[in-house]
């Protein structure tokens, strides 16, 4: 279990599963399918997103504790679908690995498919967050290719494959 804290609303939300994220997003008027990860992360006052950062190279993205907020920076050298995945993964790190970030000041992503335990955990959660199970199953049945499914959810085909391989 993890917590997310919205300073603006002075609310600490318990996160036990994906439905808790979806409920929180819906309460804020945020689209679930496709999940509007940018709007959702921007709904927290203690997180700042720097999109299309050109100073990150060779990193795809990073999350860093800076004063009273967390800064998420995403490289401008990746496609929008990958940017969404990177943002979702960095947000996942914030929710589930906050203590690690606070101790080490940041997490950097050089390769989206890194095999360390925290990255694998974050990628799996990202795939589930960006592609809700019930809708995902329906769309997979309707589409002929991974590319079609990826386009529907605005993610990469690799993320679709990860979601399929970990459906339950």
Higher-confidence position of 23 and 56? 23
Preceding peptide of 161 cis, ω within 30°: no
pLDDT digits (tens, 9 = 90+) for 93-106: 999 899 999 999 89
Q: Mind spelling out the 3-state secondary structure of 41-72?
A: HHCCCCEEEEEEECCCCCCCEEEEEECCEEEE
Please determine, for residue 120, whether its predicted confidence score (pLDDT) is greater than 70.
yes
How far, in Å, CA of 162 to CA of 168, rounded?
12
**Structural domain count, the chain:** 1
pTM score, whole prediction: 0.90
Q: Which domain holds residue 60?
A: 2-165
Average pLDDT over residues 95-124: 92
Neighbours of 75 (CB within 10 A): 21
Write down the pLDDT at residue 1.
Answer: 44
Res. 41 pLDDT band, cuts 50 70 90: very high
Write down the pLDDT at residue 15.
Answer: 67
Contact present, 121 and 109 (Cβ < 8 Å): no
DSSP, residue by residue, 22-37 = HHHHHHTT--BTTB-H
How far, in Å, CA of 145 to CA of 2, rounded?
35
pLDDT digits (tens, 9 = 90+) for 51-87: 877 788 889 999 999 998 999 999 988 999 999 999 9
Contact present, 43 and 28 (Cβ < 8 Å): yes
- Closest alpha carbon to 60 in 114, 121, 9: 114
Res. 42 pLDDT band, cuts 50 70 90: very high
Res. 8 pLDDT band, cuts 50 70 90: low
Structure tokens at 17: 């599963």
Res. 49 pLDDT band, cuts 50 70 90: very high
pLDDT digits (tens, 9 = 90+) for 124-161: 999 999 999 999 999 999 999 999 999 999 999 999 99
Please determine, for residue 112, whether its predicted confidence score (pLDDT) is greater than 90.
no
């Amino acid at each position: 279990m993890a917590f997310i804290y919205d300073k603006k609303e002075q609310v600490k939300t318990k996160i036990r599963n994906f439905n808790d994220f979806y409920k929180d997003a819906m309460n804020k008027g945020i689209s679930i399918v496709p999940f509007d990860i940018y709007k959702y992360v921007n709904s927290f006052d203690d997180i700042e997103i720097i999109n299309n950062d050109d100073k990150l190279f060779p990193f795809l993205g990073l999350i860093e504790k800076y004063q009273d907020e967390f800064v998420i920076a995403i490289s401008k050298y990746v496609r929008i679908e990958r940017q969404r995945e990177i943002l979702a993964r960095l947000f996942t790190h914030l929710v589930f690995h906050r203590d690690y970030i606070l101790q080490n000041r940041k997490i950097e992503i050089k390769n989206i498919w890194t095999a360390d335990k925290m990255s694998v955990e974050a990628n799996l959660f990202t795939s589930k967050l960006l592609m809700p199970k019930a809708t995902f199953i329906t769309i997979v049945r309707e589409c002929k290719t991974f590319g079609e499914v990826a386009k529907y959810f605005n993610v990469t085909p690799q993320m679709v494959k990860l979601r399929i391989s970990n459906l339950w």
